[in-house]
Structure 1
Amino acid sequence: MKDFLDILHHEFELPLSNPVMVFALILLIILISPIALKRLNIPGIIVLIISGIIIGPFGFGILEKSSAIDLFSTIGLLYIMFIAGLELDMNQFKANRNKSFLFGFFTFILPLTIGFPVCFYLLGYDFNASFLTASMFATHTLLTYPIVSRLKVSKNEAVAITVGGTILTDTAVLIILAVIMGNHEGTLNVAFWQRLIISLAIFSSIIFLVVPRIAKWFFTKMETEKHSHYIFVLFVVFIAAFMAELAGVEPIIGAFLAGLALNRLIPHSSALMNRIEFIGNSLFIPFFLISVGMLVDISVIFSGPTALIVAATLSVVAIFGKWLAAFFTQLVFRYSALQRKVIFGLSSGHAAATLAVIIVGYNAGIIEENILNGTVILILVTSIVATLATERAARKLAVESKEISATELKNSRAYRSETILLPIANILNFDKLLEFAILIKDKTSPNPVSILSVVPNNEEAELNIARATEKLDDFIKQASAAETKVNILAAIDHNVASGIAQKSKEIIADLIILGWPTQKGLMDKLIGKKMERIISANSKTSFVTYFSRPLATHKRIFTIVPPLAEKEKGFSFWIKKLDLLAKELSVPVVISSNSETYAEIKKILKELKTDSPFKHKKFAEWEDFLILGKDMLEDDIIVLVSARKGGVSYQPLLPTIPAKLEKYFFNKSRIIIYP
């Protein structure tokens, strides 16, 4: 019995050393802390940081910093930066890159300009110590990015330029750190700059030229191995972080650039994206936030007036510098007060890069203990300020954007939730069809994607329905992984076309997505008979699709629009769907049409306030349709906007084009739209 008690005493001796107990305790904190303090309206990020203070070595000493906690903390920080790069709307980022550069300049130069005189003249430190401490004010960690991600405002322009500016300012600060260290050690020479520039150039080339090609190859060859996609993504994140360190910058820069490199290959509504966010927000990021709290030593405040004065001065300068940068950004770009507050909230949190700068400076003897302790207090203060500011502003911004969406919806002709119907014909290619439906689905619609199986009306009808439903289990899991509801429907009818038409009326479908016919033979007859029967049997907007490769590996949407297409009833609907697909895949859209039709398309795009790049190419030679082949690229999705017989834009040539697409562009992905 005594041996058992001794073992028990050893296992629960503080600080806890058993890795299983340590992991279990942190998971318990992640689980109950936000729930317990939710009623007090304290944001979850602050709760986790405070929990880290309580259990850390400077609190009750339940846990101490260890290699395991450091590992999970590093993973969490890299995850935050990676998700920030992955969620960035690349079309918006490209359109606003100059704004990101200007904000990066403001958030770097203003804190540095304010901080240096304060440290040099007011606190009395030497040049190296003052400049290094002032550069620390310019850094910021996207501690509160999970808040804007959770509240679905990460696509807002203010968020995009802040994320872009973060990388610019942190990179500049880390280069300053290297310069000051070189100056302190006497190694600041031409060889230093040559080594830094060459290593950064090699690293950037690998990330933006090599990694996307490898990722594209991997996602294409291992298309069915969904679980391996996540492991591959994690590998890319950590190898990029390691290479960034070799290149002379912080690993967080590598993680962010990895997110940018994979951005176009991981659609925002995909199952893979959902897995990445779920695991990060559930486990790794909370670990990082708790570890930030474990760094805070509250006793510093009571160790004497000097430590308190330094801590207070550093905190005030850091917060004021970031507020000033956000204010100037608001003035220059005419942002709203809410957008300014979001920029301030995202950019005012200090943790990773800040700590890296100060610890390196402290170990090198450039700065003293008071600055180190003051920086730890600064991390706590700015974390709380950043969290409260971001939570309040992002919540109001989310409400505001939802109100705008609701107003637009009420003003639209179809004031109801969208419903998509997927009739199943060939289960072999159905996964791509379902993925396409998930990507273009209206995210505000609560209606599920309806999968329809039409079976013949005979003695085995019920058995055939059961078999069809059983085969769809994997696709239900695929949709669930992307947090999309799926509804399985069945229709008993001798005629497939009438079965689809009847069910589309019953569920009031807005869009029918059909797979391209796979039978071999004369495509003229195939499209003209089998598919046209389905199209003509209903009046719903219909997409007939074929994807030769994974959706995320396409680089452009090449759209061919006939004259008078703007007169068709579903004109604005298919434009919205193309815009949504372009955003999900981060690709441009080329419209081949006459000038009159494109002018109407531009009006719709203006109403949508889209950032997707739409380009126009004049085209009127419908008799020589194949001439468009010279403008098509290998990775294009070819979209043909067709018309039903009797439609305003219908012309006799249209029914012959699908056969030409099949014959001459058989290796390309293609979509035929019937408005």
Structure 2
Amino acid sequence: MVLVADLNFSLPFSNPVLIFASILFIILFAPILLNRIKIPQLIGLIIAGAIIGQNGMNLLERDSSVILFGTVGLLYIMFLAGLEIDMADFKKNKNKSIVFGLLTFSIPMILGIISGIYILGFGVLTSVLLASMFASHTLIAYPILSKMGVVKNKAVNIAVGGTVITDTLALLILAVIVAMSSGELTNDFWIRMGISILIFALTVIFGFPILGRWFFKRNEDNISQYIFVLAMVFLGAFLAEAAGIEAIIGAFLAGLALNKLIPLTSPLMNRIEFVGNALFIPFFLIGVGMLIDFRVFFSDIETIFVAAIMTLVATISKFLAAWITQKTYKFSAAQRDVIFGLSNAQAAATLAAILVGYNVILGVNEAGEPIRLLGESILNGTILMILVTCTIASFVAQRGASKLVLEENEESGEVEKEISGERILIPINYPDNIEELIHLGVTIKAKSAKNSLLALNIVPSDSEDETKEKYAKKLLNKASISAAATDNILTELIRYDSNVVNGITNVIKENKVSDIILGLHKKQEISDSFLGELTEGILRRSNVTALIYHSNQPLNTINRYIIVIPRNAEKEMGFAFWLLRVWNIGRNTGAKLVFYGSNDTLKYIQQVQLKFSLEAEFIDFEDWADFLIISRDLKADDALVVIMSRTNGVSFDPTMDKLPKYLNKYFNKNNYILLYPMQFDFDGKGYTKYGGTSLLNPLLEGVNNLENFGETVGRLFKKK
């Protein structure tokens, strides 16, 4: 038994339980207290770290545990940046990222070298290393943008891409200078570094996706998947260090490599963000704060002068890079603020450079003291620069993100009201496919609609067996847990009816359902009778968008979606709405969409693609009699989406009646979705429960006007 008298309360705390509890309370209360005076959470944690650290109240020591968790937090920020980036937009704007990366590297380098030589009076080697510190930056404001939901913005993608370029170049300069100072800068050095970096990049970019897809196919356990992701992050970071560059580059590339395997709407993504934002990233910020020594402000004039010059040069040069990028690509002031906020904070790479430079001894002076490449004044000045630049970056990034949110809401506020009636019904029958059905529902729905999912189980009304009702509740509870893991609320529905079709159609009417997802058991083949019963029953008696889903592997492991579209599909009333569902699959999973259809139909889809960065391909395919040709193009990790039609629909093709046989024989090893578009209401009028007549009418008119269709559907997709 441990008595109070036996506990050690001396400063700094040495009890591990007390240390961890203290940090948790800081993470909990520091942001709350400082938010009241409009200080961003990130700055609140840095200030709290300075107060409790060895240079403040000396409550906690910046020991190995703080450094360890802080390193995890830093790698987590870079990993999330690579994981959340819109890959289609990233590819589309890669040239802009390169331009910004070169600007945000070259401008600080030029100004840094000039100020180091002519203002601070340093040597050329010291000035170059100092300038490389200005050129690098840390995405310390990225969590702010992530919480505000603007990480998909073009400006964020460009800034993140530019970060990798400038940090890589800055850290390469650091390696070269260290090699020069130690006399190791030989031809062997360049050959060794070039080969090691190439091997590292190829291993992460091509090897990690293969390994990740293999693992996710064979392991559905949530904990195992999360541990696997963490292991890949640190493996990428270690491989980067082994190649002679900083670990943050490896973490970012690991995020890019796993980007398509961890969709934004998946439970795994929710867990990754939660753990990082709750624990690891705050640890990193507190650890940065512990480095700050406020006493330097009052004790050393030289340090203050050096810190002021360093901060001014770093801030002005980063702003110039963001301003030139804004003017070059005609960005808004809010987008410029976001780019500047992301690129101004000096932390991780800067700390690496200053510590390496400080430890490089060039010789000794007359007093026998070591002459360092970067002296004490630069070391202390760097710490103050980190505090100021992180503060500026957080405030500016938060201001820019707030403006971007308002701009996006103004653009799509009216549409959001019109599409607020989204309701997706998922009948639940088998425990094996519940998670995949919920995952598909989350993938196709609007991101802002957190409570649009409904799960249904039909209990025979003539049955007196209570176990069936208990089993139904158990299935629905499992569905609710799966939805909650993605931060969505699911409504559980139990229907007592002797006829399954009647039960489902009545629920559709009563709850004004817009979409229904019908799942096939993993071992069940789709039969003529099954499809016939649905056609005669649910599909004929309801006018909603219907998806019949067969799952053979997890959604996140799908590489491409092959979408086969019948002739005249654009003339169906539900054309734009099923296109929205397919579009959301591509955007939320990162998978490539390959559309097979007639030229007339593909033109409308291409009009929408012009307005959004989505990886898509269009292939002319008009004769459904040759449907089996599709099987030659379908690979192991591809999924098939077939756009169907009711028999009285304008896009109906007789080949659709043969699809059950085709799917069972040639496509059963792949995921597939049979998608039936929304139809007219029972009285023959347009369907107005979902979309509203103000949005539906221009959509119908748009089939005669390509540009109008693209603009109207673009408005619909904007908020989605």
Give the structure-1-normalised TM-score: 0.96
SS in 1 for 2:138: coil
Q: Is residue 574 of structure 2 the alignment partner of residue 574 of structure 1? A: no
Equivalent residue number for residue 394 of structure 2: 387
> 1:518, CA displacement in angstroms?
6.5
> 1:521, CA displacement in angstroms?
7.5
Equivalent residue in structure 2 for 1:13, among 10, 14, 23:
10
Q: Is the 8 A contact 2:433 2:521 kept in 1?
A: no
> 1:173, CA displacement in angstroms?
0.6
CA deviation digits over 1:55-77, x for unaligned, max 9?
A: 11111111121011111111110
SS in 2 for 1:653: helix
Q: Which runs of 5+ in 1 are unaligned?
A: none
> 1:52, CA displacement in angstroms?
0.7
Q: Is residue 301 of structure 2 the alignment partner of residue 305 of structure 1? A: yes
Q: 1: distance between equivalents of 2:5 and 2:429?
A: 67
SS in 2 for 1:130: helix
Q: Is the 8 A contact 1:594 1:620 kept in 2?
A: yes
Equivalent residue in structure 1 for 2:68, among 54, 68, 71:
71
**489-498 vs 314-323, which deviates more?**
489-498
What does residue range 443-592 of structure 1 map to in structure 2 within 5 Å? 443-460=447-464, 463-516=467-520, 523-530=527-534, 532-592=536-596
Number of residue-to-residue matches in the alignment: 665
Code of the residue aligned with 1:322 in structure 2: it is K
> 1:530, CA displacement in angstroms?
4.7
What does residue range 400-479 of structure 1 map to in structure 2 within 5 Å? 400-410=407-417, 414-460=418-464, 463-479=467-483
Relative to structure 1, the CA distance from residue 461 to residue 568 in structure 2 (aligned partners, 3 Å threshold; closer, same or farther) is farther
Equivalent residue in structure 2 for 1:377, among 362, 384, 403:
384
Relative to structure 1, the CA distance from residue 415 to residue 209 in structure 2 (aligned partners, 3 Å threshold; closer, same or farther) is closer
> 1:146, CA displacement in angstroms?
0.3
Q: Is residue 173 of structure 2 the alignment partner of residue 166 of structure 1? A: no
> 1:471, CA displacement in angstroms?
2.8
Equivalent residue number for residue 613 of structure 2: 611
Code of the residue aligned with 2:584 in structure 1: it is L
Q: 2: distance between equivalents of 1:212 and 1:522?
A: 32
Code of the residue aligned with 1:195 in structure 2: it is R
Equivalent residue number for residue 626 of structure 1: 628
Q: 2: distance between equivalents of 1:403 and 1:658?
A: 46
Code of the residue aligned with 1:626 in structure 2: it is L
Q: Is the 8 A contact 1:497 1:537 kept in 2?
A: no
**297-306 vs 132-141, which deviates more?**
297-306
Code of the residue aligned with 1:551 in structure 2: it is L
Equivalent residue number for residue 265 of structure 2: 269
Relative to structure 1, the CA distance from residue 653 to residue 361 in structure 2 (aligned partners, 3 Å threshold; closer, same or farther) is same
Q: Is the 8 A contact 1:455 1:461 kept in 2?
A: no
Q: Is residue 179 of structure 2 the alignment partner of residue 182 of structure 1? A: yes
Relative to structure 1, the CA distance from residue 209 to residue 217 in structure 2 (aligned partners, 3 Å threshold; closer, same or farther) is same
Equivalent residue number for residue 276 of structure 2: 280
Q: 2: distance between equivalents of 1:520 and 1:89?
A: 36
Relative to structure 1, the CA distance from residue 458 to residue 177 in structure 2 (aligned partners, 3 Å threshold; closer, same or farther) is same
Equivalent residue in structure 2 for 1:209, among 206, 211, 214:
206
> 1:409, CA displacement in angstroms?
3.3
Q: 2: distance between equivalents of 1:436 and 1:627?
A: 27
Q: 1: distance between equivalents of 2:4 and 2:601?
A: 83
Q: 2: distance between equivalents of 1:15 and 1:525?
A: 74
Give the structure-2-normalised TM-score: 0.90
SS in 1 for 2:626: helix
Equivalent residue number for residue 403 of structure 2: 396
Q: Is residue 112 of structure 2 the alignment partner of residue 105 of structure 1? A: no
CA deviation digits over 1:63-119, x for unaligned, max 9?
A: 121011111111110111111111111111111111111110010001111111000
Relative to structure 1, the CA distance from residue 501 to residue 121 in structure 2 (aligned partners, 3 Å threshold; closer, same or farther) is same
Q: 2: distance between equivalents of 1:521 and 1:25?
A: 57
Q: Is the 8 A contact 1:15 1:64 kept in 2?
A: yes
SS in 2 for 1:298: coil
Q: Which runs of 5+ in 2 are unaligned?
A: 361-371, 678-720
SS in 2 for 1:489: strand
**551-560 vs 534-543, which deviates more?**
534-543
Q: 2: distance between equivalents of 1:672 and 1:335?
A: 41
SS in 2 for 1:645: coil
Q: Is the 8 A contact 1:135 1:173 kept in 2?
A: yes
> 1:405, CA displacement in angstroms?
2.3
Relative to structure 1, the CA distance from residue 646 to residue 291 in structure 2 (aligned partners, 3 Å threshold; closer, same or farther) is same
Equivalent residue number for residue 645 of structure 1: 647
CA deviation digits over 1:204-248, x for unaligned, max 9?
A: 12212222111111111112x121111111111112111111110
Q: Is the 8 A contact 1:461 1:492 kept in 2?
A: no
> 1:427, CA displacement in angstroms?
2.5
SS in 2 for 1:467: helix
Code of the residue aligned with 2:646 in structure 1: it is R
Code of the residue aligned with 2:402 in structure 1: it is R
SS in 1 for 2:654: coil
> 1:461, CA displacement in angstroms?
6.9
Q: 2: distance between equivalents of 1:331 and 1:14?
A: 53
Q: Is the 8 A contact 1:557 1:587 kept in 2?
A: yes
> 1:4, CA displacement in angstroms?
6.5
Code of the residue aligned with 2:385 in structure 1: it is L
Q: Is the 8 A contact 2:344 2:393 kept in 1?
A: yes
Relative to structure 1, the CA distance from residue 291 to residue 91 in structure 2 (aligned partners, 3 Å threshold; closer, same or farther) is same
Equivalent residue number for residue 313 of structure 2: 317
> 1:531, CA displacement in angstroms?
5.5
What does residue range 33-48 of structure 1 map to in structure 2 within 5 Å? 33-48=30-45
Q: 2: distance between equivalents of 1:439 and 1:620?
A: 29
> 1:446, CA displacement in angstroms?
3.9
Equivalent residue number for residue 292 of structure 2: 296
State, as a whole percentage, how many aligned pairs show the same letter: 44
Code of the residue aligned with 1:187 in structure 2: it is E
> 1:519, CA displacement in angstroms?
7.8
**181-190 vs 439-448, which deviates more?**
439-448
